[in-house]
Amino acid sequence: MPKNKGREPGPPMKTRDRIVETALALFNEKGAVRVTTNHIAEAAGISPGNLYYHFRNKEEIVRAIFDRIIADFDLLYGRGKDAAPAAVVFFSVFIKTCDLYYRYRFFYLELATLLGQDPILKKRYVANLRTRFRQQKDYYGALIRAGVLLPSSEKELVGNLTNGWIISDFWLTWLYISDAKITPERIGESVRHIYLLLKPHLSPEADAEIRALLP
Amino acid sequence: MPKNKGREPGPPMKTRDRIVETALALFNEKGAVRVTTNHIAEAAGISPGNLYYHFRNKEEIVRAIFDRIIADFDLLYGRGKDAAPAAVVFFSVFIKTCDLYYRYRFFYLELATLLGQDPILKKRYVANLRTRFRQQKDYYGALIRAGVLLPSSEKELVGNLTNGWIISDFWLTWLYISDAKITPERIGESVRHIYLLLKPHLSPEADAEIRALLP
């Protein structure tokens, strides 16, 4: 496996980063459950001892990847929070997240199993989910006030937000259990399903703007 | 563990059935990944050799449980297929499936991992999913013709059906990753989320009938 595939020319990767990048590629290829730290060390071209200097076990590597997932999603959603509650800004996030779901696909495919195997990861995941859910709930409120989403009770808002969340986060697993290939194109189909879910709740103007964004 | 807990008085269970019942209870309690055939034999009060006479490995036991899941869902959905396309009949199925999701909760929580570990199970799961999806698609068509669901294009119908399917099948995993207890009450909340999803697509008469069914 080429170690710097797809990276810009620049200074060589630090060993810690190389371990994380190599592990991510292997997890995506074979599933995290089947990959050992020895596989990762071998693929990264380092000794098991060198790997253990940076990470005591596979769980610590998965947690390091989860930190990257949070950082990447924060870049999208953190911006969304401060951004104008406008239809195009709102919906573009769903399109952009598809890249992240593909980049970290092993994590979403094995989510429940990974959280079940590592209580520390589960605690961090739950804390992050709660923060992001609260932020999104506030943002949906702003979208209603801005006339992008039609008015609804708080209970309905939370229910619809939850439904969208489930479809986004489990779309990859849905592809997997229906025997579809996990490709960027198939992941991109989730955008149309999120649109279908949102459509009855969009103002006519927002609907027209979002429809123009659909792939 | 009492071997016949919750069963009606009657002839003693056959060994094969006792193994399946015991495995189901252990899988639900600890997760299938963590339970070995030795644990199952011990809890069933039989020797490992006796267990191997009936099942060569854990995968075969999981497949036997999957056969029960199919049979139980067929009882609900198979009836639905021949039943009148009426709002109450249609929506009652979502309420009744909650019992099955609870009874077989380990299966839904570990679905992707279980299918990834057993290609035979995956093949059977996919074949069953395709049959059931086709049946449901036909049934949704009948619901449109009967005026329960509002008219929509075939593409929208399939999209909405898929969205409902994802919310149903991954509701338990959603509870798990948001750190909720997997109880019958929490599983029952999925019914309200399915209703929220369906609501914009229901005729006013169907909406009124279904609203009266909500817990």
CB contact under 8 A, A112 and B109: yes
Q: Decide if A10-56 and A62-213 have a common fold.
A: no
pLDDT tens digits, B138-171: 999 999 999 999 999 999 999 999 999 999 999 9
Give the gap in angstroms from C-alpha A199 to the nearest C-alpha of chain B. 9
- Which of A113, A75, A115, A112 shows the shortest CA–CA distance to A97? A75
> According to CATH, what is the number of the domain B62-213?
1.10.357.10
Query: Whole-prediction pTM value?
Result: 0.90
Q: What is the rounded (10 degree) CA torsion for A43, A175, B33, B99?
A: 170
pLDDT tens digits, B195-209: 999 999 999 999 999
Give pLDDT, residue A81. 55
Pair A10, A90: CB distance under 8 Å: no
Q: Hey, what are A113's tokens?
A: 């199993």
- Which of B167, B88, B162, B89 shows the shortest CA–CA distance to B132? B162
Give pLDDT, residue B82. 66
Q: How far apart are CA A90 and CA A143, in angstroms?
A: 8
Annotation: CATH topology of B10-56:
Arc Repressor Mutant, subunit A (1.10.10)
In sequence order, what DSSP letters do the residues of A9-55 get, joined into one string? S-SPPPHHHHHHHHHHHHHHHH-GGG--HHHHHHHHTS-HHHHHHH-
Other C-beta atoms closer than 10 Å to the C-beta of A151 total: 11
Burial status of residue A202 (CB atoms within 10 A of its CB: 0-12, 13-18, 19 or more): buried
Give pLDDT, residue A75. 86
Provide ipTM, 2 decimals: 0.90
Domain ranges of chain A: 10-56, 62-213
Residues 62-101 of A with CB under 8 A from B: none
Tokens 């194109």 belong to which residue?
A: A185
Q: How far apart are CA A206 and CA A200, in angstroms?
A: 11
Interface test with A, best of B149, B177, B187, B194 (most A CBs within 10 A): B177
To which H or E segment does residue B81 belong? helix B58-82
Residues of chain A with pLDDT below 50 are 1-7, 80
Give pLDDT, residue B33. 86
CB contact under 8 A, A196 and B159: yes
Give pLDDT, residue A10. 58
Burial A161-192 (b: 16+ CB within 10 A, else e): ebbbbbbbbbbbbbbbbeeeebeeebbbbbbe
Pair A24, A104: CB distance under 8 Å: yes
